[in-house]
Amino acid sequence: MTAGLRLDALLEAVAHAAGGQLPATLHGDPALRIRAVAPLDAAGADELSFLANPRYRAAARETRAGALVLRPADRKQLFGDGHPRMALIECANPYAWFALAAQRLSPAEAPAPGIAPGAHVAAEAQVHAAARVDPAAVVEAGAVIEEGSWIGSGAHVGAGSRVGAGSRLHPGARVLAGCVLGRRVIVHSGAVIGADGFGFAPLDGRWIKIPQTGRVMIGDDVEIGANTTIDRGAMGDTVIEEGVKLDNLIQVGHNCRIGAHSVLAGCVGIAGSASIGRGCQIGGAAMIAGHLSIADGTLIGPGTLVSRTISEPGYYTGFFPLMPHRDWERNAAALRHLQELRARVRALEAGLKNAPTKDD
């Protein structure tokens, strides 16, 4: 376990990292040393936890954490003006504050520079003296590995590719020929950047392969989960803008564009030439059809089939048909009573059929 940080030093470090966007107030001992983060039900006296969801207020009241970050309203409701044992950190966004604190308490390992024995680095490749290439990694001719980057064991950097400063390719990650990664990009094991897109032309019952000659262009501060695949463009490029976060097992088709700071959960599938706006949130296993666009700031529920362009941002849910989330909730509620409604309609129809007429 690390020596940790005093609470006052931790608050200062988070404030600096957040650029003043997460002001926080400490109620408690500034000299308390925090060594790690932990969930509410497991945290100890030298650990930090957080409360962001009201469902966990009871657990927050009983936690044994040494420090707890929470909203001002939750502090007042749960603890009044203070707590006899635990330090309380007030912040309007406790989850983000906790995330930055966790980074300070568990900093990423810095790469020890150098090319390991057993790595294959082409003579025509450029590897910065402050970069690291682990055993069994391959860096092909014309590739550029910038300062502070770390190419894990068994990872592959294709010919003419570029890995930006401070980026990390975990063991077994693949960046194929001509693709470009920005700064501080993280690519987890098994991910493939720059595989051929699914491009075939039909001819008399056969399929003729269309050469995929574009690239994948990835901006700064992107994270790509394990076994996610991003296909190269057929002619133009597939583009992942800065700050995008992709979970595991996502498929991004050729010539797609994902706007800055969008986040996609696991098993999302995106067909070719789809354009996802900036700041979108897409739930797990959602399906995005090709050649459509999704407006900036749109939220897509898990498992949703997006079969048409979304021009107005909002929260959309459902397999079929796609509709605004509130409409889907109303229809889903009616669907649960469908058998009852069917029986009532049949009873009404039977009553009308047996009702006396004017001639009776």
Phi, psi for 95 (deg, rounded to 5): -65, -45
Query: Could you tell me if 169 and 188 are in contact, meaning their C-beta atoms sit under 8 angstroms apart?
Result: no
Q: Distance between CA atoms of 135 and 174, rounded to whole angstroms?
A: 15
User: In the β-sheet with 114-115, what is the strand arrangement from edge to edge?
Assistant: 114-115, 132-133, 150-151, 168-169, 186-187, 223-224, 245-246, 263-264, 281-282, 299-300, 315-317, 323-324
Query: Could you tell me if 136 and 119 are in contact, meaning their C-beta atoms sit under 8 angstroms apart?
Result: yes
Q: Which of 156, 170, 188, 254 is labelled catalytic?
A: 254
Phi, psi for 260 (deg, rounded to 5): -55, 135
Phi, psi for 249 (deg, rounded to 5): 60, 45
Q: Distance between CA atoms of 54 and 142, rounded to whole angstroms?
A: 53
Q: Is 169 exposed, middle or buried (0-12, 13-18, 19+ CB in 10 A)?
A: buried
Using alpha carbons only, what angle is made at residue 118 by residues 114 and 121, rounded to the nearest 5 degrees?
A: 65
Annotated catalytic residue 27: no
Query: Could you tell me if 325 and 314 are in contact, meaning their C-beta atoms sit under 8 angstroms apart?
Result: yes
Query: Containing H/E element for 339?
Result: helix 338-354
| C-alpha closest to that of 48 among 4, 107, 18, 83 | 4
Q: Distance between CA atoms of 257 and 245, rounded to whole angstroms?
A: 13
Cis-peptide into 321, omega within 30 deg: yes
User: What long-range pairs does 280-288 form, CB within 8 A, spacing at least 24?
Assistant: 284/247
Three-class SS of 283-311: CCCCEECCCCEECCCCEECCCCEECCCEC
Query: Could you tell me if 290 and 273 are in contact, meaning their C-beta atoms sit under 8 angstroms apart?
Result: yes
Annotated catalytic residues are 254
